[in-house]
């Protein structure tokens, strides 16, 4: 026995559409445990934010547009400040707050960064008045060094039978210091005499004096501008002037200072500063500054000068000395590049490829 049954149901299209719509919005969401807009129970609506839609037009100091789902809100802020108060606030913010928040020094440098250094070798050599010369600028400190010799001693009593005599003179131009503009006598001024002796000891460690017995080498250093670190700038200028004069050296002497800033770190710890300027060398937060001028021969790893007049522990001294040696390494890179540039210029002149520049 075989039986076949068929059933046909016809539904109007509008009724079918309403049924499908009702199925999507209720049954499907209910079966999926979703809310009426398709979100999960712990899910927020879609949120978009645009900051400053009206700030650039100048009609508001600040503005923001926030959209959460189909809800949109626009907020504007207008702040009126007297121009004089605003100028003082911005000036104070730039010089103190921004630098302090960024953990930068008063001139915008990082703790381990040296000042901008420029070198010019041979500014007075071509005139014939000196065997070698160099002009070094470290920040706002400028030093000019000239070398004369090796030459015969004026008196026989000044000669040494086994090595040359080295004379170093440090002078300061009347316009160099920031406050006192009186001309200091390099023969009687205590600070200039001390810096002359320190520079002489540093240079004697590098110059091969035994190659020039019964002769004299004179180094004259003039400080044209002083913003701290004039001893280091003078030593660097003297080294480059000796290189320009073709005086044989064991290694170039590079000098840089370092110090310690109390509580200047992010967590209130002490921070080592490299290449101090005049303001940093005087004091840190009202306390006496730890100032350590250092001169090294980087390629030999030798310290030829390290002077610290503050009372510090051995660990603190080693930290500051390590920072100063890193500064000397950075100075060495700049000095080495200038020496190579000078040698390339002289070689080009020897081959007839040099160009003449007029100073007028």
Handedness of CA 11, 14, 18, 20 (dihedral sign): positive
Q: pLDDT tens digit string along 88-97?
A: 655 555 555 6
Burial degree of 112 (CB within 10 A; 0-12, 13-18, 19+): middle
Give the pLDDT confidence score for residue 216 in this predicted structure. Answer: 92
Q: What is the mean pLDDT of residues 192-201?
A: 93
Mean pLDDT rounded to a whole number for the chain: 83
Residue 155 corresponds to which tokens in the numbers above?
A: 């008196």
User: Which pLDDT does position 360 carry in this prediction?
Assistant: 39
pLDDT for the residue 225: 92
Q: Which tens digits make up the pLDDT trace of 260-313?
A: 887 666 566 788 899 998 888 876 654 557 889 999 999 999 999 998 888 888
* Tens-place pLDDT, residues 20-56: 655 656 677 777 778 878 888 888 989 999 988 887 6
CA gap 132, 121 in Å, rounded: 8
pLDDT of residue 25: 66
Q: What pLDDT does residue 91 have?
A: 56
Q: What's the rounded Cα separation, in Å, for the pair 52 and 333?
A: 46
Q: pLDDT tens, 215-233?
A: 999 999 999 999 889 999 9
Output the pTM of the full model: 0.70
DSSP codes, 74-91: EEEE-----HHHHHHHHH
Q: What average pLDDT does this structure show over 107-111?
A: 84
Residue 88, pLDDT score: 65
Out of 99-113, 178-192, 196-210, 240-254, least confident range? 178-192
Average pLDDT over residues 104-123: 88
Express each pLDDT in 127-142 by its tens digit.
667 889 999 999 999 9
Q: Does 147 score more than 90 pLDDT? A: yes
pLDDT tier, 359 (very low <50, low <70, confident <90, very high otherwise) = very low
- Span 62-87, average pLDDT: 82
Other C-beta atoms within 10 Å of 133: how many? 25
């Amino acid at each position: 026995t075989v039986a076949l049954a068929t059933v046909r149901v016809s539904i109007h299209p509008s009724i079918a559409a309403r049924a499908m719509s009702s199925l999507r919005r209720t049954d499907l969401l209910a079966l999926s445990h979703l809310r009426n807009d398709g979100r999960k129970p712990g899910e927020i609506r879609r949120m978009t934010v645009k900051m400053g839609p009206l700030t650039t037009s100048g009609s508001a100091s600040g503005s923001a547009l926030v959209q959460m789902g189909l809800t949109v809100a626009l907020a504007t802020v207008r702040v009126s400040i007297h121009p004089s108060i605003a100028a003082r606030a911005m000036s104070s913010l730039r010089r103190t707050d921004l630098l302090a928040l960024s953990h930068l020094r008063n001139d915008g440098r990082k703790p381990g960064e040296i000042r901008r250094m420029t070198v010019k070798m041979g500014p007075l050599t071509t005139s014939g008045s000196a065997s070698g010369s160099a002009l070094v600028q470290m920040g706002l400190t400028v030093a000019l060094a000239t070398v004369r010799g090796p030459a015969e001693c004026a008196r026989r009593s000044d000669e040494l039978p086994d090595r040359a005599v080295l004379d170093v003179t440090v002078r300061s131009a009347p316009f160099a210091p920031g406050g006192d503009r009186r001309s200091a006598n390099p023969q009687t001024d205590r600070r200039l005499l001390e810096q002359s002796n320190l520079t002489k000891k540093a240079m004697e460690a590098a110059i091969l004096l035994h190659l020039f017995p019964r002769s004299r080498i004179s180094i004259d250093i003039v400080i044209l501008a002083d913003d701290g670190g004039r001893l280091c700038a003078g030593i660097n200028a003297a080294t480059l002037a000796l290189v320009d004069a073709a005086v044989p050296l064991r290694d170039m002497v590079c000098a840089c200072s370092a110090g310690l800033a109390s509580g200047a770190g992010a967590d209130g710890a002490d921070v080592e500063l490299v290449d101090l300027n005049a303001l940093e060398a005087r004091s840190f937060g009202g306390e006496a500054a730890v100032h350590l001028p250092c001169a090294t021969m980087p390629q030999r790893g030798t310290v030829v000068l390290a002077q610290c007049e503050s009372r510090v522990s051995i660990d603190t001294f080693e930290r500051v000395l390590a920072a100063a040696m890193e500064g000397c390494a950075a100075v060495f890179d700049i000095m080495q590049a200038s020496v190579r540039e000078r040698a390339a210029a002289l070689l080009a002149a020897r081959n007839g490829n040099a160009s003449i520049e007029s100073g007028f």
